[in-house]
Structure 1
């Protein structure tokens, strides 16, 4: 039976093509998405900041619960999975690790709702969320066998909820880490990285995994789990130890529309390291297929931060290479800094306003305006 299935897959593969919708900017959904929050565009992608959910996350806990049954590809996607995975695996570094997906939506108000997390495998995410930017065509047919947009929109053309979605909806987590001298750490992703190949990503970014859930499994909140996942990715990609992380706070939740409307969370982290100490460290061998370089940059003055135009917060040399998770995280940061109750506001503003410390024996009086430093990288 397995041999027959393999032969059938190979015959079908010769007749099927996966047509990418790289030019799909989802502008026809702008009114619908704009009602949810700022619509964020990067060079190649588009997504939306879920404004009300972000506000809830920053001020009130959202309980989370892990489902026992794992995600399974629905039949209408499974029949294309072998061929799609085989073709894409030739040009990307990946493995079929365990992941966590979002199986229900976050509350937008103060209601007590339990958010459902569901275990799954990375290949299932690959063959569902990462299939959504493609249309499937078969030789000789005038209409596609599957329109990728149908995986994220319902029959009324509305964005599908996570509860009704047929996709794995792997939870993306990322961190914006600031050093003691006020620089933002960024990661240049390798060309073979599935996430944002060849682009500049946040300080650490990746997928939520079962190991990010505390072993006792009690008193879980989505913010705590996202924090654990984001800090783990930061430590792995930037070669940082746990004791070198001072504190982290969640700043936002969004949906990466051009990635099957997958969920994305971002946290802000304050490090107990200078930018030089971070840049002086070698990239870990296991991370080299995914990370090509670690960078440190100055952001624009806070007065110019705009959650609707987050890329303007970056140096011009970085803007065109920014990944969507980076643009999304900066938008959330710009929203959070205006919130007087945000726990990291005062310390982050202090770090961003300070000057490079004077050398021993020099005056300790700080200049009134911060010096502009170039983008720096290290390996």
Structure 2
């Protein structure tokens, strides 16, 4: 029976085609997305900053609750899962780890809402959110079996809420880490990384995991859980220890439209390290399939920060290589720096003041050799 099933799957696989919609920029949704906040585009992806939810996260705690029942792939997605996984697994480094997805929406005002997190597996996310940028065709049919856009839009063409979504909606977390000499640490991801292959990512980025939830399970807040996940990813990818992290604060929440409108959160971290100290560290062996090198860069002067044009905050030579989480994080940072109540505002501005703009409006310090130097390999 197993042999017959394998043969049937192979026959079906030859008839199925997953048509990528790489050229889908979702411009037809621009006005709808703009009602949430700045629409952020990178060279490859598009998403939106949820401005009201960001303001709530920075000003008040948002309670969270972990559901006991895990996410299950809907039947109409599960039938394509083995074929989709089999084809994508040949060109990507991944494993079926435990993740947390968002099962409800964040409050946009003062309402007391409990945000629900749902356990799941990475392959479920892969076969739901990462399937959304594809249309599924079968030989001999004039219409696709599945239109990927239908996984994120309702019958009225409106973006689905997380409560109504049938996708795993893994919670993406990242951090923008600044050194004591005012440099932003970035990570160049390996070409086999599923996240943003070959692109420049935030200082640490990845998915929220069950281990990021405090063990006692009481008094949970979405901010605390996100910060734990973001700092964990930062420590893993940049080879940083907990005592070397001075403080982190959450700055934003958005939706990565090109990834099935999955939830994304970003934090800002202040390190107790110089950029040289970070760059002199070897990439951990377990991270080499995902991280190719670590960089340190100067951002543009604060007066030029614009949440609607976040990539202009970066050095020009890496703007086209920026991942969407990096562009999103910079947009949230640009919003936060204008918030007088944001706890890290004064300290971050103090660190960045070392990059004083000249009369021409450019940084007074030219890029140095070490800014482009990769982390040395080896154990």
**When the two structures are superposed, what TM-score results if normalisation uses the length of structure 1?**
0.95
Where do 5+ consecutive residues of structure 2 fail to align? 357-362
| 8 Å CA contact 1:281, 1:378 repeated in 2 | no
SS of the residue corresponding to residue 40 of structure 1 reads strand
- State the partner residue of 1:359: none
Distance in structure 2 (CA, Å) of the matches to 1:332 and 1:120: 27
SS of the residue corresponding to residue 320 of structure 1 reads helix
- State the partner residue of 2:193: 193
- State the partner residue of 1:238: 238
| 8 Å CA contact 1:298, 1:372 repeated in 2 | no
- Would you say 1:372 and 2:366 are equivalent positions? yes
Distance in structure 1 (CA, Å) of the matches to 2:85 and 2:6: 14
| 8 Å CA contact 2:301, 2:355 repeated in 1 | no
Structure 1 segment 261-276 matched on structure 2, within 5 A: 261-276=261-276
SS of the residue corresponding to residue 173 of structure 1 reads strand
**1:273-325: CA deviations, max 9, x gaps?**
00000000000000000000000000000000000000000000110100000
- State the partner residue of 1:255: 255
Aligned residues: 367
| 8 Å CA contact 1:53, 1:109 repeated in 2 | yes
Where do 5+ consecutive residues of structure 1 fail to align? 357-368
Q: For residue 9 of structure 1, report the CA deviation from its aligned partner.
A: 1.7
SS of the residue corresponding to residue 86 of structure 2 reads helix
- State the partner residue of 1:366: none
Cα RMSD after superposing both structures: 1.1
Structure 1 segment 36-51 matched on structure 2, within 5 A: 36-51=36-51
- State the partner residue of 2:96: 96
Distance in structure 2 (CA, Å) of the matches to 1:355 and 1:124: 44
SS of the residue corresponding to residue 104 of structure 2 reads coil
**1:185-240: CA deviations, max 9, x gaps?**
00000000000000000000000000000000111100000000000000000000
Structure 1 segment 300-315 matched on structure 2, within 5 A: 300-315=300-315
Distance in structure 2 (CA, Å) of the matches to 1:137 and 1:373: 49
**1:256-287: CA deviations, max 9, x gaps?**
00000000000000000000000000000000
Distance in structure 2 (CA, Å) of the matches to 1:272 and 1:2: 56
- Tell me whether 62-71 or 9-18 shows the greater mean CA deviation: 9-18
**1:241-260: CA deviations, max 9, x gaps?**
00000000000000000000
**1:39-63: CA deviations, max 9, x gaps?**
0000000000000000000001000
- Would you say 1:145 and 2:145 are equivalent positions? yes
**When the two structures are superposed, what TM-score results if normalisation uses the length of structure 2?**
0.95
- State the partner residue of 1:363: none
**1:91-110: CA deviations, max 9, x gaps?**
00000000000000000000
**1:325-375: CA deviations, max 9, x gaps?**
00000000000000000000000000001269xxxxxxxxxxxx7423243
- State the partner residue of 1:110: 110
Distance in structure 1 (CA, Å) of the matches to 2:153 and 2:4: 35
**1:100-157: CA deviations, max 9, x gaps?**
0000000000000000000000001000000000000010111000000000000000
Q: For residue 10 of structure 1, report the CA deviation from its aligned partner.
A: 1.5
